[in-house]
Structure 1
Amino acid sequence: MAVLAHEALNSTPTSVPGATGAKKQVVLGSIAP
């Protein structure tokens, strides 16, 4: 979970479109208070 949080804070796309059939890469997760 720490890796996904780090990537979300840096706006790094972490999805794998080839595995899900998505059209583009997106940032997974969100930062909430």
Structure 2
Amino acid sequence: MKIVLLYIIYKVYNILLKYCLVNFIKNNII
């Protein structure tokens, strides 16, 4: 159960990180 929770947190963290990175790049280009 703990491992599943960690996996979900890891996945969400990666998605948020990619989203922030994409927004950051877009803001810098524009």
The TM-score by the shorter chain falls in which range? Answer: 0.3 to 0.5
The answer to which structure, 1 or 2, has the higher relative contact order (CA under 8 A, 6+ apart) is 1
Q: Which has the higher helix share?
A: 2
Structure-1-length-normalised TM-score: 0.33
Structure-2-length-normalised TM-score: 0.36
